[in-house]
Amino acid sequence: MPLEQLNLTYLTDEDRILLRIGFSTEDTDQTKKEIQIFFTRRLLQKLWPTMMEAIGSHMRLNRPGAAFASDELVNMEHQNALDKIKESGNFDQAYSDENRKALNGERPFLLETVKFHLKANAALWIQFFPTQGGTVDLRLETSLLHGFCKLLIDAEKASGWGLDLSLPKPEEMSVPAHLLN
């Protein structure tokens, strides 16, 4: 199913962040589908550093010549992707939940674990494992990946969890040991 929209919203009554993954349909009369996933504070706290590592590794994999400059490039790529998304008006567009049905029933999946899969010249593959079993796979091209990061940062700020999510500053990112001489 083709990805149409991503939405991350903090739900006060649940004290969780709700990820809604909306899919498009070719038939305008057909009900659109979505998958809903809950992020807990604990999971997001563990997920964020791993996700930042995965983004850096993905960049080094796709740009081997940029291995030592990946810290600055990640931040620059993030800003460029966000600027492109803003220019196209996608951040201003509200999530369309009209005529949309949740594939996972009435209750969102509760995340237990997340895995990242890296492959050269391919989108970053994020695999969500809910406590209910099964997996939800999401493949995000660079601009969508950085947009997803921005939405996570904004949702965490709205939650008041105090995790201070941000992209690592160049001085905080290290070159992996296998790239050192």
pLDDT the model gives residue 63: 72
How far is residue 112 from each of residues 50, 116, 118, 132, measured CA to CA in Å? 15, 14, 20, 9
Q: Provide the terminal-to-terminal Cα distance of the chain, rounded to the nearest Å.
A: 45
* 3-state helix, strand and coil shares in percent for the chain, rounded to the nearest 5: 40, 25, 35
Q: DSSP state, 4? A: E
Residue 150 CA to its chain's centroid (Å) = 8
pLDDT tens, residue by residue, 25-75:
877 768 889 999 999 999 999 999 998 888 888 877 877 766 554 566 667
Per-residue pLDDT reduced to its tens digit, 127-159: 999 999 999 999 998 778 888 998 999 999 999
pTM: 0.81
Question: Which tens digits make up the pLDDT trace of 68-110?
Answer: 545 666 677 767 766 776 666 565 677 777 778 999 988 999 9
With beta carbons less than 8 A apart as the criterion, state whether 37 and 108 touch. Answer: yes
